[in-house]
């Protein structure tokens, strides 16, 4: 795959996980107040999502 497609898929994984974590935060399940932990968790879980899904698209 080319660099731009890889970057797009990685950023998409991060965005998807950040949206899911934001939804869980609104429900009161995670992170009761705004903090930078959500971004770090989104980066880690988004990377896992990228590795599990995007890499299998080859």
pLDDT at residue 56, rounded to an integer? 74
Residues whose CB falls within 8 Å of the CB of residue 35, separated by 6 or more in sequence, listed in order: none
Sketch the domain layout of the chain as residue ranges: 3-57
Q: What is the pLDDT of residues 1-58, one digit of tens each?
A: 689 989 999 999 999 999 999 999 888 888 777 778 899 999 999 999 999 987 777 5
pLDDT at residue 36, rounded to an integer? 85
Rounded Cα distance between 20 and 26, Å, is: 10
Rounded Cα distance between 31 and 16, Å, is: 17
- Supply the pTM of this predicted model: 0.84
pLDDT at residue 1, rounded to an integer? 62
- Give CA separation, 34 vs 8, 30, 42, 50, in Å: 27, 10, 14, 25
Rounded Cα distance between 21 and 38, Å, is: 7
């Amino acid at each position: 795959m080319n660099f731009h497609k890889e970057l797009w898929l990685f950023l998409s994984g991060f965005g998807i996980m950040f949206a899911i974590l934001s939804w869980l935060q609104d429900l009161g399940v995670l992170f009761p107040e705004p903090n930078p932990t959500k971004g770090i968790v989104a980066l880690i879980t988004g990377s896992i999502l990228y590795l599990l899904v995007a890499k299998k698209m080859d």
